[in-house]
Amino acid sequence: MSNAYLIGHLTVKDADKWAEYRSQVPATLEPWGAELVLRGNRLAILAGGHPHADVVVIRFPSQDAIDGWHSSAAYQALIPLRQQAADVVLLSYAAY
């Protein structure tokens, strides 16, 4: 199977808490072979509507790795901080 991608659409509510969350996430990704591909700010909506201003794209070796990371104790411990820091939608996609 080819890589799988985690796409996060987000709107930051508390910049300090978001910075704290972001500083802790890389350690949770490393055991799963994940790599940050893109972190960015929306420039324009070209079609349709989209409520979030920021995006993150993380490449994983498989969907199983995404599932393992997301359910890991290390990442689960960060979810309360994430929820305080930002409104986040997480989606996973298979590459083809």
pLDDT in tens, 20-46: 999 999 999 999 999 999 999 999 999
**Domains in the chain, start-ordered, CATH in brackets?**
4-42+56-94 (3.30.70.100)
| Whether residue 83 has pLDDT greater than 80 | yes
Helix (H, G, I), strand (E, B) or coil at 6: strand
| Whether residue 80 has pLDDT greater than 90 | yes
- Please state the φ and ψ torsions of residue 39, each to the nearest 5 degrees: -135, 125
| Whether residue 85 has pLDDT greater than 80 | yes
Joined tokens for residue 43: 């420039």
Candidates 34, 21, 23, 26; CA nearest to 77 is 21
| Whether residue 69 has pLDDT greater than 70 | yes
Confidence class of residue 1 from pLDDT cuts 50, 70 and 90? low
Confidence class of residue 96 from pLDDT cuts 50, 70 and 90? confident
Work out whether the CA dihedral 29, 35, 39, 44 comes out positive or negative.
negative
